[in-house]
A and B are shown apart, each in its own frame.
Chain A
Amino acid sequence: MTATEAGPGTSVGAALGRKEDARLITGRTMWTDNVTLPGMLHLAILRSPMAHARITHLDVTPALESPGVITAFSGREVADVQGSLPCAWPVTEDTVVPDYPPIAVDEVRHTGEPVAVVAARDKASAEDALELIEVDYEPLPVVLDMEAALADDAPLVHRDQGSNRCYTWTFDSAEAGTGGDVTRAESDAEVVVTRRFSQQRLIPAFMEPRSIVVDPTGDQITMWSATQVPHILRLMLAMVTGTPEHKVRVVAPDVGGGFGGKLQVTPEEFIAFVAANRIGRPVKFTESRSETMMSGHHGRDQIQDVTISARRDGSVTGLSVRLLANMGAYLGLVTPGVPVLGAFMYNAIYKFPAYRFECTGVFTNTTKTDAYRGAGRPEATFAIERAMDELAAELGMDPLELRRRNWINHDEFPFTTVSTLTYDSGNYEAATERAKELFGYDELRREQERRRAAGDTVQLGIGVSTFTEMCGLAPSRVLGSLNYGAGGWETASVRVLPTGKVEVVTGTSPHGQGHETAWSQIAADQLGVPFEDIEVLHGDTRSSHKGLDTYGSRSLAVGGAALVHACEKVVDKARPVAAHLLECDPADLEFTDGAFRVRGSPESAKTIADCSLAVFNAHDLPEGMEPSLDSDATYDPANFSFPHGSHLCATEVDTETGRVRIRSYVAVDDVGRVVNPTIVEGQVHGGIAQGIAQALYEEASYDDDGNLLAGTFVDYLVPSATDLPTITTDRTETPAPDHPLGAKGVGEAGTIASTPAVVNAVVDALRPSGVTDVPMPCTPERVWRAARSTEGSERS
């Protein structure tokens, strides 16, 4: 990949090489685990082998005898200082938020829960000493299945709560006044399709395991953490431990991926914080992959009961959704909110006249769930796109035709949906038409017919997913109405240095997305400063004191807008300086091609660099002017943005073995105006890979005792490049009207879109033999069983 040369004003939209890649790819950078401080100790954490048990005896003293060990402690010993981990999103007034000690005190509620900690001079000594800690557990009944957990006589995860129900959140379009009554729609319907879909539990497989270093020496306690959310972490450390906020500094140095898995305030962060303060020396904790898998938060894990009612002509008349969402044993930062985010997306790109949604969060003796790439939206998109294919089959209609009959036409935007959101813009017709063309849709359908007629062992399936999602989390007033514990704004600061070089400080916290490149492109265009002359600073509360970090495809949609506004303020501040230097009226100046020019005589120009030097010297400025161009902006979006796209997948399904091979995959995405096409392409490819992984490969299941069966990558199958198809991508570009650049967001689109496209293709391949569903992941055995279960009964 080579960088294209960018001139002033042309940087946005150019496929520039990423500034950060050389250091990220070679690993020659500051990862948290590379932080080494004088006198630093290493932590190891003893974790529960039981899914639910009372701790009847715990003695760390034998570990103290082990070579290199400095100290060891149990949850009971720090019970009064460790606090309770926060949940920022109790979605209803009566949401049950159980006490969540970072180290279990009396009772463990899932395997992998921390029960004791060792601090030693080196990591090996700390791990050796763990084996010497004595713990006796008295087993308690385990509940893993959500429906079993809601039964009257179910064992309780939290016995003091009286029930395993965490909350029930509902929406009804008839009550909200946004649509009709679903019950009536169902009773009047000519066709009703009901399906139950399961969203299996997934494990975020970021490349860099979570790692924490805490330095308690000095005036500020400093925590380095491989986190997506350094600002939220700082606030939560202060609030939970009572440490004054200004005495806590958090640094997210370069972070190797997150996918939502590092949108968390973790037990391990609090354990390291408590340990460092207790010992008075710096400590480091870096987890093993198996620890990530066992006790980092998981994603998905929902049961979805979907009923779609329609007329014979294909017009959908109503949709009802009942969800069970597995919370796990405790609530993480936004655990209850994840399925509720999805509530707004079940109506997808369609003009459904009636909609009802009910979600019940359920506690079980499993690792907590929380945000995972898409967070609620992939689940919703899967269910509706699968249901639309099922309805199309029921009606004998082409699945794209069914969608066309129900979707919002491009001339109907802005469009207020049945679930209350106002979609900003889109062109589903254009994206779908382009996807069909690239895919060769009609020819593939003809081939499918031929192979069905010939009874081929390997059948061809075609899957459709026309998706939308909500990016730009989030308008603060919307978050307030959903009982979320913070706003959704973002900040940016622009510091203009005397030589005209620029530092951009952002409140977003990239962990692989390429903000340093994209933000440089934006600032280059706004300020007329070369791309290379811009440094983007992030992730250290000392330089970036304010921000709401990176998740939910929000960084460009919200943080990018803040940066545009901050740059505009710089230009506004520089204008009188330039006028002064040019001895003209500021009103006579225009800022074009990276410089202030006198209208009518463009040869006399002053750049931002000229102005910054003048401001630095401050010898001769307009009367009363503050000698600074530096500017801050905080942007609170008025609305979400709604990227969309049409994904088409062709699968070859071997009916003898059940093997699924993706033959072709076409993704036409519309993410608004694009800042860097290479970055967008990368996000789409990675997102699709992750969505395919849910469709075909990954599953975190537990045995009956609550032991995680996928504790390593041997059993948790993350597909590699060898296992993935060549992806054909293209874009349509419908600008976001509410965003200063017209950008929408792309971080999650591929993941949201691809899972239903793949599963629809698998089911489509087998549909002639009567198959109407294959549970995810569509393993060869499941596909074989699905094909076999209907053999003879439906095949003519």
Chain B
Amino acid sequence: MIPAQFEYSRPAGVQEAVRALAEGGEDAKVLAGGQSLIPMLRMRLAVPSLVVDLGGVVEMRGVRDDGDALVIGAMTTHDQVLRDPLVHEHAPLVVQATSTVADRQVRHMGTFGGSLAHADAAGDLPSVAVALDATFDIEGPGGRRTVPAGEFFVDYLTSAVSPDEVLVSVRVPKLTGWGTHYEKFNRVAQAWALVGVAAAVRRSGQTIEDARVALTSMGPTPVRARGVEEALIGAPATAEVVNAAADRAGEGTEPSSDVSASGEYRLHLARVLTGRAVAAAGGL
């Protein structure tokens, strides 16, 4: 349980980090909080030649108000997110999901951006980012680019961030007048979700005006449950509507079968939990 040898670099700024990655080539790895990379290093599942530690990049930490959105620095720890008044006010879904990530010790080390760039579809934050239509600011040798959530999660453990790039910050649109809920189903408190559902619902009286639903651990990437949303938007806010919509939660999913749960069970859970998440978000 000792990592193989690697070179180590601790840049002080984003551009310095990008230069270090360029020099490190294909076998360089970015270290954020270490929530995922450190175990992989220790088990020698990852054997990089260079580790670029972003721990010293101060400009990547913190949350700022940017008008209709919050900009969350990629190196902001989960714990900082949980204590941030702006996030509490404008993105309660992020707070609720983050509070379920791993355990207290890990939340003090793990980062918002690290969890997203790692692109584990069993992680809680990717589906939340998809449900909130977040956008991702990425810096590389060619400068900075912005990627929407729908294009950020490419495949299992693969995000749009290239090996020579760094995820700098994430822009999370403020949801005003929406209700949100993250429904996580796991076997023990510290475990990954077997299935998770991130839901946001905007009602006007007894009508559901808008709805966004995304699923955790229902395929190689987080899944936007468009079928559920379609069935909800414009419909009356009733239990029957929600249940009928939740029945479409399996559309477009590719749930895996593993030691924790079968695909069939995940599919069933997705429907049950979607119903519960939407009902909670919609105040039903």
Residues of A within 8 A of B (CB): 123-124, 127-128, 131, 288-290, 656-657, 659, 697, 701, 709-710, 712, 714-715, 717-720, 722-723, 779-781, 784-785
Contact = CB atoms under 8 A, between A and B. Distances in A.
Nearest to A715: B259
Contacts of A715: 259-260
A271 B194 CA distance: 41
A657 B265 CA distance: 9
B162 interface: no
A123 B265 contact: no
12 contacts: A124-B2, A124-B5, A127-B2, A290-B43, A709-B259, A710-B259, A717-B188, A720-B188, A780-B194, A781-B265, A784-B265, A785-B265
Nearest to A127: B2
Interface string B17-50: 0000000000000000000000000010000000
Given A697-B187, A701-B259, A717-B191, A656 B272 contact: yes
B171 to A, nearest CB: 32
Nearest to A287: B1
B189 A784 contact: no
A722 B189 contact: yes
A722 B188 CA distance: 8
Given A123-B2, A127-B2, A656-B272, A780 B187 contact: yes
B146 interface: no
Contacts of B273: 657
B190 interface: yes
A721 to B, nearest CB: 9
A659 B1 contact: no
A723 B188 contact: yes
A659 B185 contact: yes
Nearest to A693: B188
B185 A657 contact: yes
Nearest to B273: A657
Contact of B188 (A656, A697, A784): A697
Nearest to A126: B2
A781 B2 contact: no
Nearest to B191: A717
Interface string B177-218: 000000001011111101000000000000000000000000
Nearest to B194: A780
A785 B43 CA distance: 35
B268 interface: yes
Contacts of B43: 290, 712
A717 B268 CA distance: 22
B4 interface: yes
B262 interface: yes
A784 B268 contact: yes
A720 B259 contact: no
B188 A719 contact: yes
6 closest A-B pairs (Cβ-Cβ)? A288-B1, A722-B189, A781-B265, A124-B2, A709-B259, A723-B188
Contacts of A779: 187
A781 B103 CA distance: 24
Contacts of B185: 657, 659, 780
B269 interface: yes
A717 B259 CA distance: 11
Contact of B189 (A659, A720, A780): A720
A61 B222 CA distance: 48
Interface in B238-282: 259-262, 265, 268-269, 272-273
A313 to B, nearest CB: 42
Contacts of B191: 714, 717
A657 B269 contact: yes
A49 to B, nearest CB: 13
Nearest to B260: A715
A197 to B, nearest CB: 22
A133 to B, nearest CB: 15
A710 B187 CA distance: 15
B36 to A, nearest CB: 11
Given A656-B272, A697-B187, A715-B259, A128 B4 contact: yes
Given A290-B43, A715-B259, A657 B272 contact: yes
A131 B185 CA distance: 39
B262 A781 contact: yes
B189 A723 contact: yes
B268 A290 contact: no
A697 B260 CA distance: 11
Given A128-B5, A718-B188, A784-B268, 13 more contacts: A123-B2, A657-B272, A657-B273, A697-B187, A717-B187, A720-B188, A722-B190, A723-B188, A723-B189, A780-B185, A780-B265, A781-B262, A784-B265
Nearest to B261: A781
A365 B224 CA distance: 44
Contacts of B260: 715
Nearest to B266: A781
B213 to A, nearest CB: 18
B114 to A, nearest CB: 18
Of B43, B103, B185, B268, most A-chain CB atoms within 10 Å = B268
Contacts of A722: 188-190
A124 B260 CA distance: 33
A656 B187 CA distance: 15
A709 B187 CA distance: 16
A779 B43 CA distance: 27
Contacts of A659: 185
B250 to A, nearest CB: 16
Contacts of A701: 259
A715 B189 CA distance: 13
Contacts of A781: 261-262, 265
A657 B192 CA distance: 16
B246 to A, nearest CB: 11
Nearest to B259: A709
Contacts of A785: 265
Given A722-B189, A779-B187, A289 B265 contact: no
A720 B104 CA distance: 13
Nearest to A710: B259
Contacts of A124: 2, 5
Contacts of B259: 701, 709-710, 715
A322 to B, nearest CB: 29
Contacts of A290: 1, 43
A784 B269 CA distance: 10
Interface in B152-178: none
Nearest to A713: B190
B40 to A, nearest CB: 12
Nearest to A709: B259
Contact of A289 (B1, B194, B272): B1
A366 B236 CA distance: 57
Contacts of B5: 124, 128
B99 to A, nearest CB: 12
Contacts of A657: 185, 269, 272-273
A74 to B, nearest CB: 22
A715 B261 CA distance: 11
A723 to B, nearest CB: 5
Contacts of B188: 697, 717-720, 722-723
A231 B271 CA distance: 58
A712 B262 CA distance: 20
Interface string B91-112: 0000000000001000000000
A288 B4 CA distance: 15
Contacts of A712: 43
A565 to B, nearest CB: 46
Contacts of B269: 657
A711 B188 CA distance: 17
A609 to B, nearest CB: 49
Contacts of A288: 1
A656 B243 CA distance: 13
A659 B261 CA distance: 13
B252 to A, nearest CB: 22
Contacts of A714: 191-192
Contacts of A780: 185, 187, 194, 265
B214 to A, nearest CB: 19
